[in-house]
């Protein structure tokens, strides 16, 4: 059995994402993680998807809602203005599961999921990502941790069920308070 690689941070994990590939981030918020993904992975195409609205229904986080709740699409658009103009980056304002469903099968080399963290949402995003990410590609995400008051074990439960079903294999995890995970599509 292969060992799961430990990374100090998610940004260190990103160094192992294939360069010059096609990727997507689901749950972009203000774009901080998208900037890191873009500059570290140097994708040929990066899809950025978020609902970008005032108040998320059943908000997944309780603390400091001003950090994630608002229409940050304009901000993200300004951050990636040149890349959007050159068609390297595309912004999509919709739920992650819907966005992934609409993509062509086997069109992504990797996806990073960090939208709503409840079990049902993560499960739908993972199910759709399985068809869109090529075999051997990467499905990654954030907050691979329990949060009893808010999303409970939503992320961990959904990811682990896909691992147990033999659909993905855990290959890396970051050692942060809110860890990121990296899985290979089987």
Q: For residue 62, is pLDDT > 50?
A: no
Q: Smallest Cα–Cα separation from 182: which of 10, 32, 36?
A: 10
Residue indicated by tokens 């808010």: 150
Residue indicated by tokens 């774009």: 31
Q: For residue 99, is pLDDT > 80?
A: yes
CB 119 within 8 A of CB 60: no
Residues near 45 by beta carbon (within 8 Å), at least 6 away in sequence: 22, 23, 87, 88, 89, 90
CB 153 within 8 A of CB 118: no
Return the domain boundaries, the chain. Answer: 5-185
Check residue 67 and give its pLDDT.
52
Residue indicated by tokens 């950025």: 48
Q: For residue 69, is pLDDT > 80?
A: no
Domain 5-185 has CATH 3.40.50.720: no
3-state class (DSSP) for residue 121: helix
The DSSP line for 45-104 is EEEEEE---SS-TT-S--S-GGGT-S--HHHHHHHTHHHHHTTSEEEEES-HHHHHHHSP
What pLDDT, in 10s, does the model give residues 9-48? 999 999 999 999 999 999 999 999 999 999 999 999 999 9
Residues near 91 by beta carbon (within 8 Å), at least 6 away in sequence: 48, 49, 73, 76, 77, 80, 84
Instruction: Band the pLDDT of 64: cuts 50, 70, 90.
Output: very low
């Amino acid at each position: 059995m292969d060992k799961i690689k430990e990374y100090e941070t998610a940004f260190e994990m990103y160094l192992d994402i294939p360069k010059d590939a096609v990727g997507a981030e689901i749950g972009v918020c203000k774009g901080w993680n998208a900037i890191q993904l873009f500059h570290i992975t140097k994708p040929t195409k990066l899809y950025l998807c978020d609902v970008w609205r005032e108040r998320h229904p059943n908000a997944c986080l309780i603390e400091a809602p001003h950090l994630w709740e608002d229409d940050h699409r304009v901000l993200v658009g300004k951050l990636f203005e040149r890349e959007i103009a050159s068609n390297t980056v595309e912004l999509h304002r919709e739920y992650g599961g819907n966005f992934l469903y609409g993509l062509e099968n086997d069109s992504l080399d990797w996806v990073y999921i960090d939208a709503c963290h409840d079990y049902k949402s993560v499960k739908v995003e993972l199910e759709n990502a399985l068809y869109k990410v090529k075999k051997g590609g990467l499905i990654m995400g954030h907050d691979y941790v329990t949060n009893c008051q808010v999303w409970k074990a939503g992320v961990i439960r959904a990811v682990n069920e896909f691992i147990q079903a033999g659909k993905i294999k855990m290959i890396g995890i970051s050692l942060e308070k809110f860890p990121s995970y990296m899985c290979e599509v089987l």
